[in-house]
Each structure stands twice: as structure tokens, then as C-alpha cells.
């Protein structure tokens, strides 16, 4: 295992997989301009051609609020990509995933969108020394627990882990953290398994709530294991505003681990 | 240009230069956050064109390197700086930041962060002018790399087809972020690219304000007379990086020095001295007065202004609900 940074892990995967060159869109905010090609062409060509043509391309793009970049440079767009049939969406929360998901995405014959976060490139973590392919489907239990499941992806996994620590130490609540590194398809079995164990769910996302990961996960919970629930699931999310430039407003607009803690305490009637 | 105008514009250009340099310092001091794109080196472009147009009357739109264009249109430098400080008194009430300066009252229609984004907006403004029948024109200031966006061609086609009163000013500073124009663009001379749409175009030195002014005057006259769009390419150079996170490793220091020898402020200053209309001592006084104004008024105002209130986070997302009830609820007010 090597302890390397997120961007270094991506670089290593790039270096190892030379045959299919991934497309890097500098910022998801710029990806709107390529939507027609990504959605109408890449995602649909296999189906439209009855399987004759394929578009085994990988799009990497970073999004998220990254310190006062303003309304046109801070978007989270995973919800947009998740809604497109024919496109896979993954989102790494650590260097190991960043490396392994990119390698699998390049080998996979489907178009894959890899959603990264601008604030995470300097994050350090363990990456296997030998070649490693992370599954493009599924989810990971990042921390086991019994009382409540905290669903996160990408940067919000880290809010959930921090919140779980606080909930355990200060409130005696055992939180399980599930990392939804695959946003399309979402891991129905993994979501069901964890909620069936803890009977409570909180979904944390940096994005605004409407039509988002949180609403999708709650819909899956309803469909898969509604009668396992002891409380209504809760979403932790950004305010429904274009990202403000002002630092205080920006901070007020986006959630963090404290909001996850508050949501859990509310769920347990402790706040 | 008349001597009085040249002296006035020299003072304005010194303000534009010092304002931007002060922004640089404030960014280092972490008073300004986010992205910051500075204008030094290109002052003769905005000033030369706007001297030939009517600031505050004609509609102006541009990209993210927008502070100077806003000020030239009549925006208060105090409000522009306060915006960079993220304050409630800022031109966009602290919500926009450096890339999104707006002053609709002065007909400065904004700075936009997506490269090429303002092209169709400029055409839209021009269409509105045409429909209303006013004598204003729309002026769209963008860089050379913006012309590689697909929307450039869509806009040129419709602007020419509908004979829209819009002047496209291409400030060709030779680099799209860190990529030189030769490496990114098949046709290096940007004014040639609109020939396919029968849009008349011109190209000139963007460092000498009198040259810019003469070319811009013809371009503005063409557009204001109802002849449709015009495309003006100005050859210029930005001294600093694309933004603050750019160490300029993609170009040589020799190249930068070569351009600095044709500094737009010094060209105008030296000409005025030669014409006997200015002394070096007077110029130094202008610089001192400008610095004092920036420090004592612009920075002081920005420092002392209040932050936006967190309760107002969702203000301006949509129209004030109370004013929209008949349409939102279907019930008469």
C-alpha cells in the first residue's frame, strides 16, 4: 500500500491505462456545454443502433463548492448525469477509489461519468501497490454501526464519518456510514441491507435537495424496505440557491458534518 | 482624440491599472476570495472602444475579466471593490464576486464566468434595442479563446442575419489561459473568422489608445447607423497570469518584457509629454492622487461595509413572492 494523494492516484491510473484516453472536463460547470454530445450521443448510441455502435468513453470532471468560486463555478451536477439512461456515474471519496474506479471505467465498454470534488485532490490515502480495479457498481460500508445509517458520497462521506465519530463519543449513538460511490446505478441491495439493520436513514449531499441523490435513496428505501423504518428518513443538503460569492453566505448555503449530527439527533428526538 | 480627452483617459487608465494592482494585493491578504482575473496591459482596449462609444448609454457585456469594463461604464469603483470584498454594498451585493460585476443602471450588463457565454446575450440585447428602436448599441468584449466556442458561430450567424446593432470586440491577448493561440486555434487572425457570415471586421494595435479609438469610431459608427454587426480585433497582452493561480510558465519573461515596452499607459503618457500637454511631475501626481483615492475611499469603503446577512441567503433567487401572487397562486391580488 502506498499513502498517496487523490490526484496522484488519478494520475497513476491515467498512466497505466493508455489505450482509452479519458476526457477531462476541467469543471462540471463547463460540462453543460458538452451535454448534447454526452447525453444525446454517447449515452444513447448503443441503444439507438441496436447494439451496433458503442461509446466506451470516460468523462472525468470536478465540481462542488471550492471556496468562493461563485455561482457559475460551484455547481454539483451529479443529479443531472444520474438521470440519463445509458450512462454510468461513479464518484470516488478517497484515493483508492479514485484510482480503482478510473481504471475500471476505462476498461468498461459503457460511457462512465466520474464525478470528483475540487476540494479533495490533496486528500491522502492508501492505494494498493498492485493493479486494482474497483467495482463500478455497489456501495461500501465505510464504518459499521447499528442505530442509524448515514449515506454519503464523495465529500459527504467524510462529513458522515466525522459525524459518526461525534455521535458515538458524545451521544452514544452507533452510526453506520455507507459510501455510495456508484450513483448510477445506485446499490439497491446495499441500501436495503443497511437500513434493514439500523432502521433509520440520513442522506448527506452537498447538492441542493430537489431531484437529488437523497430523494432517490429515499425512494429506494420506500420501495425496498419501507416496513423496516423506525423513523422517516432525512436529507441533509445545500440551500436551494445559486452558490453565493460571499464567504459567510457560502458557508451558510452548504452543509457539513455538524448538520449531519443535528439531523441524527433530531431523528432520535434529542434536539 | 482631443488633448483634454486624452488627459482624462490617461487618469482613468492609471486608476484602472492601480485598482487592479490593489486587487492583487488584497487577494494576497485574503480580503478577496475565489477567482481573480486582472486587466493590466489591456487598458487601451476597453478605454479606446468606450471613448468611441457612449458609456452608460450603450449596453456593455463581457467575461470574467470585468472590473475595468464596469468602471469605464460608470460603475463606482468603491462598489466594484466592495463586491470583491463580498460586501452587501458591492455592485452585486456580495453575491457575485469578481467574475460577476453588474451595474444595470450604467448599462453594464455583467461579467460571466463561462467562456463565450456572453456572445448570445449581447445579440439578445441588440435584438431588444432593435425591437424598441433606440439608438443604443450592444458591445461585447471577449477574449480570443472565446471564439472557439460553438456559440460564437451561432451568434455571428443570427447577428448578421438580423442585422443586429452589436459590436464584437475581441481583445486578443494571445493566450487562452495557458495555451497560446497558435496551439489552440486554426485561424490565428480572429477578424478573418467572421467573413463566413459577411460581418465586416477590422484589426489593429490594442496598446495605443489613439489607434484603438480611430478603429473603434468607424466600427461604432457602422453599428449605430443600422448596418448590422461589426467585429473588431485588438492585439494586446495581459501582464499577469490568466487568474491568480497562474505562474505564467507557458511563456517567456523576454516576451513579457517586449510587450511591457509598449505599455498602453506609457504610450499615452509619453505622447502627451511630447505634445507639451503633460509633464512627468504631473503624471506622478496623478499616480499619487489615484493611490490615495483607492486607499482612502475605495478600500476604506470596502473594509467598513457590512457583510450580507445570513437571513438573506435566499434573497434574489426568485422574484419577491409577495409581488407575484396573482401569477403564482391563480388568485387575484
User: What's the CATH number for A140-267?
Assistant: 3.40.50.920
Residue B66, pLDDT score? 98
List all residues 6 or more positions away from B178 whose beta carbon is below 8 Å from its beta carbon: B242, B246, B248, B249, B250
| B301-318 average pLDDT score | 97
Domains, in order of start, for chain B: 3-308 (3.40.50.970)
CB A88 within 8 A of CB A120: no
Residue B320, pLDDT score? 92
CB B307 within 8 A of CB B85: no
Interface of A with B in 146-175 (CB under 8 A): none
Q: pLDDT class for B333, splitting at 50, 70, 90?
A: low
3-class SS of residue A261: helix
Of the candidates B100, B149, B308, the beta carbon closest to that of A70 is on B100
Q: pLDDT tens-digit profile of B262-307? A: 999 999 999 999 999 999 999 999 999 999 999 999 999 999 999 9
CA proximity to A173, closest of A164, A184, A162, A185: A164
Instruction: Show the cell assigned to A143.
Output: 464504518
Whether A219 and chain B come into contact, CB under 8 Å, resolves to no
Cβ A249–B34 below 8 Å, yes or no?
A: no
Q: pLDDT tens-digit profile of B81-100? A: 999 999 999 999 999 999 99
Residue A184, pLDDT score? 97
Q: What is the pLDDT along chain A (271 residues), one digit of tens a residue?
A: 899 999 999 999 988 887 788 999 999 999 999 999 999 999 999 999 999 999 999 999 999 999 999 999 999 999 999 999 999 999 999 999 999 999 999 999 999 999 999 999 999 999 999 999 999 999 999 999 999 999 999 999 999 999 999 999 999 999 999 999 999 999 999 999 999 999 999 999 999 999 999 999 999 999 999 999 999 999 999 999 999 999 999 999 999 999 999 999 999 998 7
CB A81 within 8 A of CB A184: yes
Instruction: Show the cell assigned to B158.
Output: 443570427
Residue A17, pLDDT score? 87
Instruction: Show the cell assigned to A32.
Output: 453543460
Fill in the DSSP letter of residue B319. -
The domain locations on chain A are 2-127, 140-267
Res. B217: pLDDT tops 70: yes
Chain A contact probe: residue of B114, B242, B306 with most A CBs at under 10 A: B114
Peptide bond into B21 cis (omega under 30): no
Minimal C-alpha gap between A43 and chain B (Å): 21
Q: Which residues of A touch B149 (CB under 8 A)?
A: 33
Quote the ipTM score: 0.89
Residue B55, pLDDT score? 98
3-class SS of residue A217: helix
| B187-209 average pLDDT score | 97
Q: Please report, for residues A64, A68, A256, B48, the alpha-carbon distance to residue A119 in angstroms, rounded to integers and kept in the order given.
A: 8, 12, 14, 41
Whether A252 and chain B come into contact, CB under 8 Å, resolves to yes
Cβ A245–B33 below 8 Å, yes or no?
A: yes
CATH topology identical between A2-127 and A140-267? yes
At the top level of CATH, the class of A2-127 is alpha beta
Amino acid at each position: 500500500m502506498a499513502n498517496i494523494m487523490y490526484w496522484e492516484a488519478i494520475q497513476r491510473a491515467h498512466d497505466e491505462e493508455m489505450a482509452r484516453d479519458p476526457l477531462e472536463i476541467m469543471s462540471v460547470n463547463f460540462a453543460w456545454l458538452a451535454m448534447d454530445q454526452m447525453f444525446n450521443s454517447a449515452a444513447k448510441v448503443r441503444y439507438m443502433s441496436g447494439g451496433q455502435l458503442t461509446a466506451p468513453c470516460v468523462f472525468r470532471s470536478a465540481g462542488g463548492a471550492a471556496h468562493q468560486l461563485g455561482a457559475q463555478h460551484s455547481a454539483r451536477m451529479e443529479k443531472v448525469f444520474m438521470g440519463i439512461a445509458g450512462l454510468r456515474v461513479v464518484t470516488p471519496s478517497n484515493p483508492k477509489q479514485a484510482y480503482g474506479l478510473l481504471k475500471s471505467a476505462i476498461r468498461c465498454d459503457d460511457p462512465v461519468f466520474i464525478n470528483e470534488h475540487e476540494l479533495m485532490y490533496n486528500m491522502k490515502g492508501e492505494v494498493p501497490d498492485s493493479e486494482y480495479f474497483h467495482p463500478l457498481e455497489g456501495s461500501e460500508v465505510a464504518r459499521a454501526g447499528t442505530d442509524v445509517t448515514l449515506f454519503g458520497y464523495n465529500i459527504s462521506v467524510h462529513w458522515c464519518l466525522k459525524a459518526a465519530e461525534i455521535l458515538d463519543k458524545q451521544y452514544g449513538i452507533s452510526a453506520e456510514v455507507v459510501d455510495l460511490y456508484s450513483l448510477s446505478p445506485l446499490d439497491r441491495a446495499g441500501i436495503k441491507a443497511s437500513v434493514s439493520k439500523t432502521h433509520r436513514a440520513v442522506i448527506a449531499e452537498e447538492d441542493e435537495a430537489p431531484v437529488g441523490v437523497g430523494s432517490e435513496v429515499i425512494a429506494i428505501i420506500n420501495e425496498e424496505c419501507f416496513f423496516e423504518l423506525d423513523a422517516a428518513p432525512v436529507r441533509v443538503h445545500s440551500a436551494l440557491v445559486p452558490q453565493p460569492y460571499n464567504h459567510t453566505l457560502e458557508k451558510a448555503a452548504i452543509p457539513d458534518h455538524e448538520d449531519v449530527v443535528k439531523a441524527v439527533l433530531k431523528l432520535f428526538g434529542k434536539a | 482624440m482631443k488633448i483634454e480627452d486624452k488627459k482624462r483617459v490617461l487618469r482613468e487608465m492609471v486608476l484602472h491599472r492601480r485598482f487592479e494592482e490593489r486587487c492583487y494585493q488584497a487577494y494576497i491578504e485574503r480580503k478577496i476570495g475565489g477567482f481573480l482575473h486582472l486587466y493590466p496591459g489591456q487598458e487601451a482596449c476597453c478605454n479606446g472602444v468606450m471613448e468611441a462609444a457612449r458609456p452608460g448609454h450603450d449596453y456593455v457585456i463581457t467575461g470574467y475579466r470585468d472590473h475595468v469594463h464596469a468602471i469605464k461604464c460608470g460603475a463606482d469603483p468603491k462598489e466594484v471593490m466592495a463586491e470583491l470584498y463580498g460586501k452587501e454594498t458591492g455592485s452585486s451585493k456580495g453575491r457575485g464576486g469578481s467574475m460577476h460585476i453588474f451595474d444595470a443602471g450604467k448599462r453594464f450588463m455583467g461579467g460571466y464566468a463561462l467562456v463565450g457565454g456572453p456572445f448570445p446575450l449581447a445579440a439578445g440585447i441588440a435584438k431588444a434595442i432593435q425591437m424598441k428602436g433606440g439608438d443604443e448599441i450592444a458591445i461585447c468584449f471577449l477574449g480570443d479563446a472565446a471564439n472557439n466556442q460553438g456559440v460564437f458561430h451561432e451568434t455571428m450567424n443570427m447577428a448578421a442575419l438580423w442585422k443586429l446593432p452589436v459590436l464584437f470586440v475581441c481583445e486578443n491577448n494571445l493566450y487562452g489561459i495557458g495555451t497560446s493561440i497558435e496551439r489552440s486555434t486554426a485561424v490565428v487572425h480572429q477578424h478573418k473568422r467572421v467573413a463566413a457570415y459577411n460581418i465586416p471586421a477590422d484589426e489593429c494595435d490594442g496598446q495605443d489608445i489613439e489607434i484603438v479609438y480611430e478603429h473603434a469610431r468607424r466600427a461604432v459608427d457602422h453599428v449605430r447607423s443600422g448596418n448590422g454587426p461589426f467585429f473588431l480585433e485588438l492585439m494586446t497582452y495581459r501582464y499577469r497570469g490568466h487568474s491568480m493561480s497562474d505562474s505564467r510558465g507557458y511563456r517567456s519573461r523576454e516576451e513579457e518584457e517586449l510587450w511591457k515596452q509598449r505599455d498602453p499607459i506609457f504610450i499615452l503618457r509619453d505622447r502627451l509629454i511630447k505634445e507639451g500637454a503633460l509633464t512627468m511631475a504631473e503624471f506622478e501626481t496623478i499616480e499619487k492622487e489615484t493611490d490615495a483615492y483607492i486607499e482612502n475611499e475605495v478600500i476604506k469603503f470596502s473594509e467598513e461595509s457590512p457583510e450580507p446577512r445570513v437571513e438573506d441567503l435566499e434573497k434574489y433567487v426568485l422574484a419577491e413572492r409577495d409581488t407575484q401572487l396573482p401569477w403564482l397562486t391563480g388568485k387575484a391580488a
